[in-house]
Amino acid sequence: MKLLFTGFSLAAALVSTGVAHSHCQLPCGIYDDHARVHSMLEDADTIQKTVILIKENSGKNDAQSNNQLVRSIANKESHAQSIIETISDYFLTQRVKPSQSDYTERLKKHHAVIVASMKAKQNSDLQHVDDLKLAIVELEQYYPRQSD
C-alpha cells in the first residue's frame, strides 16, 4: 500500500507526533521573548521544589516515598530539558543573530543557561538550581517586557 501525504497532512502528522516542540520557526513574526524567559524561571522554580522533594524522600523505603522520588526525578529532568530546548530551539535559532553587536556575549549567556540546566538536571544540589536561576536572569536584559 502506497502512502501519499499532502503538505497539510504531513505537517499535521509531524505536529501530532510531538516533533514540533518550540515556536513555529516559519518565521511568523510572533514572539514573546519575555514570556519565554519567565517560563524558564518557572521551570527553574519547579526544579528547585523538586530537588527539595528528592532530598525529603531519599533514603526512605516505603512505596509512596519511592514512587514520589521517581516522579520527582523525572519531573526535574523534564523541566531542565524544557529550558535547554527553549534556549536552543527558540532563542539560539531565532533571536540571537550574528548581526547583533554583542553577539558573542549573548551566545555566552545563552550557553551558560544550557550548561546550568544540564547541571541541575544531573544533580540534586540546590546550588546548581541557584546558578541556573542566575543564568536565566542574566537574559532578562535582552528580552524586556514589551509595552502594549
- The number of domains in the chain is 1
The cell 501530532 sits on which residue?
16
Question: Does 132 map to a domain?
Answer: yes
Question: Does 48 map to a domain?
Answer: yes
Domain hosting 104: range is 23-142
pLDDT per position as a tens digit, 119-129: 999 999 999 99
The cell 540546590 sits on which residue?
126
Question: pTM for the full model?
Answer: 0.80
Residue 131: which CATH number? Answer: 1.20.120.400
For the chain, give the mean pLDDT: 86
Question: Does 11 map to a domain?
Answer: no
Structure confidence at residue 145 as a pLDDT band (50, 70, 90): confident
Question: Does 4 map to a domain?
Answer: no
